[in-house]
Amino acid sequence: MTRFEELIITSNEVKRAAGISLSIVALESTVLTHGLPRPQNLQLANDMERAIRAEGATPATIGFLDGYLHIGLTEGEIERLANERNVSKVGPRDFATVISQGASGGTTVAGTMFACKHANANIKVFATGGIGGVHRESGFDVSADLQALATIPMIVVCAGAKAILDLPATLEYLETMSVPVIGYGTDEFPAFYSRESGLGVSVQLDTPKEIVEFARAHWSTGMKSAVLVTNPVPGTDAISQSEMEPIIEQASREAQKKEIHGQQLTPFLLERISELTKGRSMRANLSLLLNNARLAAQIAHAWRTAEKRRVA
């Protein structure tokens, strides 16, 4: 049997960046394969990479191609993943499936964090759209993202949890698992499409430098959990919670009626909500993803600066 490490392909760009300790930002690929329609998915992937480079950091989009785990997909590989028909949604438990089948797939937040842990490129910062969490009225559907956040020490930048979830329950779970929830420039937990949720964060911080200092303090105590940074969607693209709520409820009811569960649920809801909002929710989704890539790159830069100071 091949060792897992031998199935990991690190791009030359990421290798070089890791070798000279440049700042690196990991990006997931489920958003490409299952979260957004074509051709917006490819456009967005390229835009996120560009935004990270513009901040002077190196992007590492992570995903599976033919059973190999890529840390830093090249432009051509991203294009392949974005256009592939038969792709899996890959969380940590699905690694063995795609490896043994030689399959391709987009890694979820949990899958991407798990990949970073094994990647040997010292990736500390990761940008996504919205994390998974506890689903509404679905019996017992809790995203593996929460488990990964509880056990893998990285700084994860998101726009809150996806609004389709049970947000209070998701926040309770994060508290139980000792995952600090930082509000970036806000004391309110953002709800993905909306800047507001009526729910609090555990701490408000206002600069990338403060976030890095906080994360270092968190891990200095011996904590192994992630630090979750929630960055509200830019105001120009935000949709208010009062407008979103009935739409989310309708989409959730439809999913229940159609008996859509498990891995299919999130993609179904995102697509249905986009239809119901005539594309506005997708615009918000694209906007918050780019916004998170930018902030993650700034945090990665501040992280590297702090590391250098520590070594000097």
Residues 22-61 that bind ligand PSU (CB under 6 A): 28, 30-31, 34-35
Could you tell me the sign of the dihedral formed by the alpha carbons of 28, 75, 3, 34, in that order?
Answer: positive
Task: Tell me the number of residues near Mn ion by CB under 5 A.
Answer: 2
| Structure-block tokens of residue 7 | 């199935």
Residue 145 binds to Mn ion (criterion: CB under 5 A) = no
**Locate tokens 């930082």: which residue?**
182
- Quote the CA–CA distance of 5 and 12 in Å, as a whole number: 16
Residue nearest to Mn ion (CB): 141
Site for ligand PSU in 251-280 (CB under 6 A): 263, 266
Asked if 141 is part of the footprint of Mn ion (rule: CB under 5 A), the reply reads yes
Residue number with CB closer to Mn ion (143 or 291) = 143
Residue of the chain from 17, 65, 87, 109 that contacts ligand PSU (CB under 6 A): 109
Q: What are the distances in angstroms from CA 203 to CA 100, 126, 180, 221?
A: 43, 19, 8, 17
The least CB distance from residue 93 to ligand PSU, in Å, is 11
Catalytic residue of the set 28, 49, 55, 188: 28
Closest approach of Cβ 105 to ligand PSU, in Å?
A: 11
Element (H, E) at 59: strand 58-65
Interaction of residue 77 with Mn ion, rule CB under 5 A: no
Q: Give the DSSP H/E element, type plus range, for residue 281.
A: helix 280-311
Is 162 among the residues known to form the active site?
yes
Residues touching ligand PSU: how many (CB under 6 A)? 19
Which parts of 181-220 interact with ligand PSU (CB under 6 A)?
none
Q: Does 180 bind ligand PSU (CB under 6 A)?
A: no
Amino acid occupying residue 184: Y
Task: Give yes or no for a contact between 168 and 189, defined as CB atoms under 8 angstroms apart.
Answer: no
- Active-site entry in 49, 55, 124, 162: 162
Q: Which of 23, 128, 186, 277 binds ligand PSU (CB under 6 A)?
A: 128
Angle at 34 between CA 24 and CA 82, to 5 degrees: 65
| Count of residues in the chain | 312
Q: Beta strand pairing status for 58-65 and 227-230?
A: unpaired
Active site residues: 28, 162
Where do contacts with ligand PSU occur on this chain (CB under 6 A)? Answer: 28, 30-31, 34-35, 108-110, 128-130, 132, 143-145, 162, 263, 266, 285
